[in-house]
Amino acid sequence: MPSILQRLHLLVLLLAFTTTAAQQYTYKARYDSLDTRHDLSRPLIERYFITANHGAACFNLGLMEEIRVSAKEELALAEQLGIDTLLSTASNHVGDALNGSAEAALQLKYFYQGLDYAQRSGNANFIGTAQKQIATVYKTLGDLPRALGWLKLALANVTSDYQINRTCCHLSDCYRLMGQPDSALYWAQRSNVVPRPEEDNYGYARSYYMLGAAYAAKGERQLAEVHFARAIEVADAFHVMIPLYGSLVARGQMELEAGDLAAAIADGHRALLVSSDGGNLEGQVGASDLLRRAYKASGEADSAYHYFELRVLYADSLINATNLNKLQNMAFAQELKEQEDAKLKAEEMAARSRNIQFGIIALIVITLGIFLLIFSRTAVVGAKAIKNLSLIALLLFFEFINLLVHPFLDRITNHSPILMLLCMAAIAGLLIPLHHRMEKLITNMLVSKNNRVRLEAARRTIEELEGSRNDHAAS
């Protein structure tokens, strides 16, 4: 028997292993340039986290096509693992991949699916994360009051700094868009919970972006410039696209309103360069519009007209890209549907296989029971019992045949309930006469056996009576 010290040592080792595994498998944006997520020799859980982290890195870099592919693979891995928290996160990432207000209904489907998995897990942080994701859809649609309602529900649940940062950033953005700069500043300050940019570069840069935007909305230019500068510095260092061009355009807009045209033009040019390098058309539209207005204010009509034409060009490209994105989202949604259909089909086949096995077991038990009754030397069974047993056997046999031929009938009848009913009725019509014949045969066999058993019992009784009479006569 192990001693108490040995048991304590084993417990410490187990806790250390668990902690190491938790540290190894964590969510952190990390681009998988070596394609290790497709290495089948790695554990499934490791491949899941590599894929999820790769998707987060693609989001930070604005790589939409890779985001879609990664999200689909992440969901498939989560379904294989069957862990509710992972399924919740993967569902949310699929919803993120379906970007754009035109896909709001489909996004909500996956975000609500993520919420359902989170509630099944009972993990408050995952519940809050899914609620925050639902809020982002309403924010995109411009329904800011409803978005605020969901964000406040989320904030009551989220526990990680990562999700507190995102939720508070969205709250700040909603209040700023609603013309409430004081509330925007309050929530921007609460979003600033990431201590170092290397821990969460996107969250860190976005928090400073929100702070700069809130101070700019309040008209406090110096404080806004400080926070915009920090957001730009971090976003530039870590190649985080959204806070980078967002901060440049927002700072340029503030400088334009203050009459600092040279600074506004400089930020506009940099924002346009960053957006062009990242292929972000929304950033290009915002930057070119900023440059148009800045050059117009400085009296440089030719440059203003040039950037006006650029803005029109980028806006047209954005419309075309939006339409293309809709088509890509439709293709992505179809792939997801096919993935779901394949999963449901596999589950149905597994369930049918189990039912067939149970049917075989039941038939074997009933059949063995009947044969035991037939060939038993002592059991006497009435015709009524045999009738009941044979009826049970008939029903089991009919259900067994139904399970076997159902996929075939479903295919040849093209899912027609009436044709399937007629086919099953025909099968039943063939089975019932066979059942009557088998029942009659078994009943006759049992009657013969019962007669033999009764005759044997009567013979033994007569012999015993004669023996006892002889004993009395002898005495």
Residues 51, 67, 108, CA angle at the centre, nearest 5°? 105
pLDDT of residue 69: 87
| Burial degree of 25 (CB within 10 A; 0-12, 13-18, 19+) | middle
d(CA 347, CA 340): 11
pLDDT of residue 358: 64
Distances (CA, A) of 365 to 85, 387, 400, 438: 43, 16, 14, 17
Among residues 256, 253, 313, the alpha carbon closest in space to that of 284 is found at 313
Residue 57 and residue 29 in contact, taking contact as beta carbons nearer than 8 Å: yes
152-196 pLDDT per residue, tens:
999 999 999 989 999 999 999 999 999 999 999 999 999 999 989
pLDDT of residue 16: 44
pLDDT of residue 173: 94
pLDDT of residue 15: 41
pLDDT of residue 351: 72
Among residues 55, 54, 121, the alpha carbon closest in space to that of 86 is found at 121
Q: Please list the ranges in the chain whose pLDDT falls under 70.
A: 1-25, 62, 99-103, 278-279, 318-336, 352, 355-356, 358-359, 361-400, 403-404, 406-407, 415, 431, 435, 438-454, 467-475
Residue whose tokens read 């410490």: 12
pLDDT of residue 283: 80
pLDDT of residue 164: 95
Residue 250 and residue 266 in contact, taking contact as beta carbons nearer than 8 Å: no
Tokens of 286: 């915002």
**CATH architecture of the domain covering 27-336:** Alpha Horseshoe (1.25)
pLDDT of residue 186: 96
pLDDT of residue 21: 42
pLDDT of residue 134: 93
pLDDT of residue 10: 43
